[in-house]
Structure 1
Amino acid sequence: MSIIPIKSTGVAAVLLKEINNIYHVLLLKRASHPLHNIWCYIGGGIDEGETAIQAIYREIAEETGITEVVLYSSNQFDQIFSPQENYIYIAPVFVGFVHQEQSVVLNDEHSDYQWLPFEQAKEVVSLPGNEDVLQSIEHNFVKKKPLTYLQI
């Protein structure tokens, strides 16, 4: 019997900012392959010796320049099957709340960004399953008060 390996070597984050009393999601446009021109939220690998939490703080800072964020575990996961390499990739998704005045400074991994209300963000995200993650985050972190248990 053959198995499909599962790799959990990365993290993801959905950043939220309140603009005109409506929460908006930060989406980034990838500038490099394999996801060139794909709109997505923050994601990246876990470096040797890092925890997932250390990795997501680093990835947020590297990809957006944002260093002040109130972070939660979303209890959601990005899940992708790689048909070329025959493995399942799974990454915990974190939720970060940022201040209204927080600006974004992109690194060279991305060519553009936009803050979008949830309904628009769910239409713009490119990878199947991302809209489900956004739906869950909207339901559990915007429409409801986030559980303090999940705060990092």
Structure 2
Amino acid sequence: MSEIPIRCTGIAVVLLKKVENQYSVLLLKRAESVLKDVWCYIGGGIDEGEKAWEAAYREVEEETGITNLSLYSANTFDRIYSIEENYIYIAPVFVGFVESDQEVNLNEEHSDYRWLSFQEAIDTVSLPGNDEVLSLIEKYFVKKEVPGYLIVGG
């Protein structure tokens, strides 16, 4: 019996900011060949010796220039099956809260960004499963009090 390997080599981060008592979600438009022109939240690899949450902070800074955020474990995962390489990629998802006046400075990985309502973000993401991640984050991090035990170091 053959098994499909599972690889956990990256992270995902959904950034939120509150504007006029409503939370907005940051989506980025990919500029590189992998998923070119796809709107998604922040994602990236985990470097050697790095914890997943450390990679989340680093990727946020690299992709957006943002260093001031409160980071939480979303306790959910991005999951993608690689057809070409026959493996399942799984990545822990983090939620980052930023100040309402936070500027975004994109690196070369992305060509554009938008702060959207949750419904707009859910309608905009195109990777199956991203909409479910956003719905879960809205339910547990916006509509409910965020549990303190989910905050991560920084």
- TM-score over 0.5 for the pair: yes
1:16 aligns to 2:25 (yes or no): no
1:78 aligns to 2:78 (yes or no): yes
Identify the residue that residue 114 of structure 2 maps to in structure 1: 114
Distance (Å, rounded) in 1 between the aligned partners of 2:20 and 2:112? 22
Distance (Å, rounded) in 1 between the aligned partners of 2:29 and 2:126? 10
What displacement does 1:53 show? 1.1
How many residues of Structure 1 are paired with residues of Structure 2 in the alignment? 152
Identify the residue that residue 29 of structure 2 maps to in structure 1: 29
Distance (Å, rounded) in 2 between the aligned partners of 1:46 and 1:35? 19
Instruction: Give 5+ residue unaligned stretches, structure 1.
Output: none
1:68 aligns to 2:68 (yes or no): yes
What displacement does 1:26 show? 0.1
Q: How does 1:38-117 map to 2 (within 5 A)?
A: 38-117=38-117
Percent of residue pairs identical: 63
Identify the residue that residue 128 of structure 1 maps to in structure 2: 128
Identify the residue that residue 4 of structure 1 maps to in structure 2: 4
What displacement does 1:19 show? 1.1
Amino acid at match of 2:98: V
Distance (Å, rounded) in 1 between the aligned partners of 2:80 and 2:35? 13
Specify the SS of the correspondent of 2:100: coil
Distance (Å, rounded) in 2 between the aligned partners of 1:150 and 1:51? 15
- Structural RMSD (CA): 0.5
Amino acid at match of 1:56: A
Runs of 4+ in 1 over 3 A off after TM superposition: none
What displacement does 1:20 show? 1.5
Specify the SS of the correspondent of 2:95: strand
Amino acid at match of 2:132: D
Distance (Å, rounded) in 1 between the aligned partners of 2:50 and 2:126? 28
What displacement does 1:33 show? 1.5
